Amino acid sequence: MSHPNLPMTEVLVVADCWQHEPDSEAVIQRAVAAAAESVDEDVADAEVAVMLTDDAGIRTLNSNWRGIDKPTNVLSFPALQPEGGWKPGDAPRMLGDIAIAYQTMRREADEEQKPFDHHLSHLAVHGFLHLIGYDHENDSDAEEMEALETQILAHLGIPDPYADRAGTH
């Protein structure tokens, strides 16, 4: 049963490699719920779609939408919002889509010696925050976003993903 103040999160597995991680959908559901509960944004009655893909799929998205012809770990695509705003009784408000690539995410988790579900949670939280307007285009915004990610992940019992990094994002 979903919490009434949380967005509906639909997880779509489009690459067979995700079969190796059968708990991925539950991990993403928990991460998005924790992120939604931690922000001031009204996300009740909203929807988020998360696509679990592979490096080839995310490379295509990255190339088509960002002009970067290589795979990445996560991409977020915020939905355009109606000019008049969303009103109760309207169709569910779409926050946007998140795509996560298995091979890149798995490699990063292994290289950083992090549990797979911790890294997946981090990328789901990161993607969700992009959907509601957070970014890391400059140092100040990056610090704000990283601090919020760290707080949300701590709520899930996940250590600070930036603890071993020297201010890089």
Q: Which residues contact 101 (CB under 8 A, 6 or more apart)?
A: 53, 54, 55, 57, 58, 59, 71, 72, 73, 74
Please count the structural domains in the chain: 1
| 1 within some domain | no
Residues within the annotated binding site? 126, 130, 136
Whether 20 is covered by a domain: the verdict is yes
Query: CATH number of the domain that 62 lies in?
Result: 3.40.390.30
For 99-137, write each residue's pLDDT tens digit: 999 999 999 999 999 999 999 999 999 999 999 999 998
Residues of each annotated binding site for Zn(2+):
126, 130, 136
In a domain, 12, yes or no: yes
Tens-place pLDDT, residues 18-37? 999 999 999 999 999 999 99
The domain in which residue 18 lies consists of 6-164
Q: What is the CA radius of gyration of the chain?
A: 16
Q: Is residue 26 part of a domain?
A: yes
Q: Is residue 69 assigned to a domain?
A: yes
Q: Write the pLDDT tens digit of every residue in 38-96.
A: 998 888 778 999 999 999 999 999 999 999 999 999 999 999 876 766 666 666 788 99
The helix/strand/coil state of 69 is coil
Instruction: Please report whether residue 169 resides in a domain.
Output: no
Q: Is 60 among the domain residues?
A: yes
124 occurs within a structural domain = yes
